[in-house]
Amino acid sequence: MSKIILVAGATGNLGQRISKYLLENGAEVRLLVRHRNQAITDLEKAGAQIISVQNWTYEELTKACKGVSCIVSALAGLRDVVVDAQKVLLFAAVSAGVPRFIPSDYSLDFTRFSPGENRNLDWRREFHTYLDQQPIAATTIFNGAFMDMLTDQMPVILFKQKMVLFWGKRDWKWDFTTVENTAQFTAKVAMEDGSPRYLRVAGDRISPSEIRDTVESVYGEKFRLFRPGGQSLLGFIIKMARKFSPSENELYPAWQGMQYMHNMIDERSKMENLDNDRYAGMKWTSVKELLKRHQESL
């Protein structure tokens, strides 16, 4: 009998990929959907069952959770989504007797940091206070930072300026995992009968100086390292940016991205005892492979 996996957040990039891998692994996939997009249409054609919800109520979600083996959340948003919407889904899952829940964490290991250091991670920590009180088995997946952001959103590799920008130590290794690898790993976790409370993976561990060397080898051009300052200076800039341009209703204001980098260069960010070898057949993408694909796409 195939496992029934309910996915919340399948309209997003990560949720869509998780759903795709679940289907490939033989799961019966149900998608909680409030708004359809092309990703949902494609997943439905591939065999996923669409469960439309209008108001995200406890009653609607409890009905949708009946008979489900595991819930995978890939919900993304502000506190009203990460805490409030996930909480309704959690309580509905418990009411329906769902045995397992994978929350929408997919980040660096925020258990090693204190409350108040990162707004977006604080919301995930807040949700955990509800999750850990419920009679349901949960598994959080920590994957460092999404490697895909190195080629666009994360201001580290500045292609036009031929520069690798970094804060802190040039030889401190950062943990990166592609969205694809994170989705593949999550699908495998969901297909298990049980898994630990926390799992930690990193597709690549690489320092700023190694990123510079890798970029040069892939693109055949010279890049220089540029260090504006250390962790303290970056922390001060974050405080000023948040004070004068708070943008609290944005998911990723500029200061939030800087805050994530501030956490990445902190020695507490290093994940010990990675679970990369938990499943046979996983091939982890390196930064060099990512950059080769990017170079070929230009």
Tell me the average pLDDT of the chain.
96
pLDDT digits (tens, 9 = 90+) for 234-281: 999 999 999 999 999 998 899 999 999 999 999 999 998 999 999 999
Q: Look-up: residue for tokens 């597709």?
A: 203
- The three-class DSSP label of residue 125 is helix
Residues 82 and 75 sit within 8 Å (Cβ to Cβ): yes
Percent of the chain whose pLDDT exceeds 90: 95
What pLDDT, on a 0 to 100 scale, did the predictor assign at position 288? 98
CATH of the domain at 97: 3.40.50.720
Q: Is residue 97 part of a domain?
A: yes
pLDDT digits (tens, 9 = 90+) for 24-74: 999 999 999 998 899 999 999 999 999 999 999 999 999 999 999 999 999
What pLDDT, on a 0 to 100 scale, did the predictor assign at position 1? 64
Rounded-to-integer distance, Cα 267 and Cα 76, Å: 27
Those residues whose C-beta lies under 8 Å from the C-beta of residue 131, and which sit 6 or more positions away, are: 90, 101, 103, 138
- The listed range with the strongest mean pLDDT (33-37, 149-153, 209-213) is 209-213
Residue 42, strand partner residues: none
Q: Is residue 100 part of a domain?
A: yes
- The three-class DSSP label of residue 168 is coil
Q: Is residue 74 part of a domain?
A: yes
Going by C-alpha positions, the residue among 289, 277, 256 that lies closest to residue 180 is 289
Rounded-to-integer distance, Cα 79 and Cα 145, Å: 20
Q: Is residue 134 part of a domain?
A: yes
**Angle between helical axes of 86-96 and 58-65 (0-180°, round to 10):** 50
Rounded-to-integer distance, Cα 27 and Cα 71, Å: 12
How many Cβ atoms sit within 10 Å of the Cβ of residue 148? 19
The rounded Cα 267 to chain-centroid distance in angstroms is 20
| Parent domain of 20 | 4-138
For the ranges 33-37, 70-74, 123-127, 171-175, the lowest mean pLDDT is seen at: 33-37
Q: Is residue 111 part of a domain?
A: yes
What's the rounded mean pLDDT across residues 137-149? 98
What's the rounded mean pLDDT across residues 104-112? 97
**Count: domains in the chain:** 1
Q: Is residue 46 part of a domain?
A: yes
Q: Is residue 240 part of a domain?
A: no
- Determine whether 45 is exposed, middle or buried from the number of CB atoms within 10 Å of its CB (0-12, 13-18, 19+): exposed
Q: Is residue 39 part of a domain?
A: yes
Residues 70 and 18 sit within 8 Å (Cβ to Cβ): no
